[in-house]
């Protein structure tokens, strides 16, 4: 492992590459990265990067978003088939049919979606700005939200707006936690704050003290000593790694996203050596999808 780390650092230097990693990546991958973050933070980093190569340790929709926002750098996804099952739960064709059933609606798409779905949508959002985006939509507008039913309904409850959601979900957050986990953890850690990601089911969100994005969880952990996290376990693993003196616990050991765990250090090295897998988005789709992401930036200011 030490030799792989040495080679990654050397190649990164030689090629002036930037390595960014999502908060769910394995600890050693997050460690080697220049920056870590949630989906929104990583989108900003990728957009503003001036490096000829950006290695995106995450899943495909994140690298695609980077490729839309940064047309100069070569965006690399270390593992070709690191995808997001939730993003795959709606196609552009299905979205067109959904829109036809609900004419004159504004379509908000979660960033966890394909470029084609983004190109068919009006405004993009992430877990950290969904509430703000929805509340900034004029009151007389009908709102469709794709693909995450949990994030969409949570944002609807927070804003008091009516939102028609697609029936997609994140398998890790949907099936990773149960109310039995909550009962057990509240008994075992009664003085810990329960933070839940809005991709969780309503029955989990109703029990949470705070509902927040992974970036928000990282900020909370910097200022507090005790917490239980209802999100993918890579986040808790990394927090325990950097704050061994604090008490950070996962709500359930089942909450593992297999796709986020596909990236190993050897894949990061392979990406730097071969400059693959190059993620590209054609100009026409990038312009259309870019509009919906730019609207997100404007509306979440
Ligand atoms: P955030 O990091 O934006 O909270 O999103 C979590 C996620 O599911 C990424 O797949
Ligand atoms: Fe997709 Fe869920 Fe994995 Fe995030 S944690 S990449 S939403 S499957």
Do 161 and 291 lie in one domain? The reply is yes
Domain range for 236: 172-250
Same domain, 139 and 195: no
- Best of 20, 21, 24 for a ligand 1 pocket test (most atoms within 8 Å of beta carbon): 24
Ligand 2, residue 170: give the atom nearest the CA. 2
* Average pLDDT per consecutive 10 residues, the chain (301 residues; last block may be shorter): 96 98 98 96 95 98 97 98 98 98 97 98 97 96 98 98 98 97 97 98 98 97 98 98 98 98 98 98 97 95 78
The CB of 65 under 6 Å from ligand 1? The reply is: no
Do both 189 and 239 map to the same domain? yes
Q: Is 127 in the pocket of ligand 1 (CB under 6 A)?
A: yes
Contact status, residue 172 vs residue 201, Cβ threshold 8 Å: no
Q: Are residues 207 and 143 in the same domain?
A: no
Tell whether ligand 1 has an atom less than 6 A from the beta carbon of residue 23: yes
Strands 193-196 and 226-230: parallel
Q: Give the residue from 297, 285, 283, 292 showing the smallest Cα distance to 47.
A: 297
Number of domains observed in the structure of the chain: 3
From 23, 83, 260, the mutation candidate for ligand 2 (largest count of ligand atoms within 8 A of CB) is 260
Mean pLDDT for the chain? 97
> Do 181 and 109 share a structural domain?
no
CATH of the domain at 8: 3.40.50.10800
Q: Note whether residue 41 is domain-resident.
A: yes
Distances (CA, A) of 150 to 14, 85, 130, 174, 274: 44, 15, 12, 9, 39
User: Is the Cβ atom of 41 under 6 angstroms away from ligand 1?
Assistant: no
The reply to whether 255 falls in a domain is no
Give 213-269 pLDDT, tens digit per residue. Answer: 999 999 999 999 999 999 999 999 999 999 999 999 999 999 999 999 999 999 999
Question: Does residue 215 fall inside a structural domain?
Answer: yes
One domain, residues 266 and 203 = no
Own/partner pairs for 3-8, CB < 8 Å, 24+ apart?
Answer: 4/265, 4/266, 4/269, 5/32, 5/265, 7/269, 8/32, 8/265, 8/268, 8/269, 8/272
Local structure of residue 279 (DSSP, 8 states): P
Closest Cα to atom 2 of ligand 1? 38
| Predicted local distance difference test score (pLDDT) of residue 301 | 78
Tokens, residue 49: 């990067």
Residue 148's pLDDT is: 98
Q: Evaluate whether residue 34 is within a structural domain.
A: yes
Gap between the Cα atoms of 235 and 243, Å rounded:
12
The verdict on residue 244 lying in a domain is yes
161 and 288, same structural domain?
yes
**How high is the pLDDT of residue 189?**
98
What residue's CA is closest to ligand 2, atom 5? 257
User: Same domain for 163 and 289?
Assistant: yes
CA dist., res. 224 & res. 29, Å (int): 25
Same domain, 196 and 235: yes
Residues touching ligand 2 (Cβ under 6 Å) are 59, 84-86, 112, 170-173, 199, 232, 257, 259-260
Whether 75 is covered by a domain: the verdict is yes
Same domain, yes or no: 92 and 71: no
Give residue 300's pLDDT.
Answer: 85
The CA distance from 166 to 155, in Å, is: 14
Q: How high is the pLDDT of residue 1?
A: 85
């Amino acid at each position: 492992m030490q030799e792989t780390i040495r080679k990654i650092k050397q190649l990164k230097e030689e090629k002036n590459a930037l390595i960014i990693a999502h908060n769910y990546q394995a600890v050693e991958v997050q460690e080697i990265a220049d920056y870590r973050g949630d989906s929104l933070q990583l989108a900003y980093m990728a957009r503003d990067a001036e490096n000829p190569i950006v290695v995106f340790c995450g899943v495909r929709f994140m690298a695609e978003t980077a490729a839309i926002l940064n047309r100069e750098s070569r965006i690399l996804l270390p593992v070709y088939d690191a995808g997001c099952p939730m993003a795959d739960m709606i196609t552009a064709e299905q979205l067109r049919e959904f829109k036809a059933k609900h004419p004159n609606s504004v379509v908000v798409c979660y960033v966890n979606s394909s470029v084609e779905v983004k190109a068919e949508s009006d405004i993009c959002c992430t877990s950290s700005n969904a509430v703000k985006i929805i509340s900034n939509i004029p009151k007389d507008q009908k709102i469709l939200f794709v693909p995450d039913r949990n994030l969409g309904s949570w944002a609807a409850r927070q804003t008091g707006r009516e939102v028609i959601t697609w029936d997609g979900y994140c398998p890790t957050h949907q099936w990773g936690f149960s109310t039995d986990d909550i009962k057990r953890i509240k008994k075992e850690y009664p003085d810990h704050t329960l933070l839940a990601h809005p991709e969780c089911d309503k029955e989990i969100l109703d029990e949470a003290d705070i509902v927040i994005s992974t970036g928000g969880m990282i900020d909370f952990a910097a200022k507090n000593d005790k917490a239980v996290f209802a999100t993918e376990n890579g986040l808790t693993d990394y927090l325990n790694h950097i704050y061994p003196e604090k008490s950070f616990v996962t709500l359930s050991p089942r909450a593992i996203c297999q796709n986020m765990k596909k990236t190993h250090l050897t894949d990061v090295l392979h990406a730097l050596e071969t400059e693959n897998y190059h993620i590209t988005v054609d100009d026409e789709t990038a312009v259309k999808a870019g509009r919906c992401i730019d609207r997100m930036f404007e509306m979440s200011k």
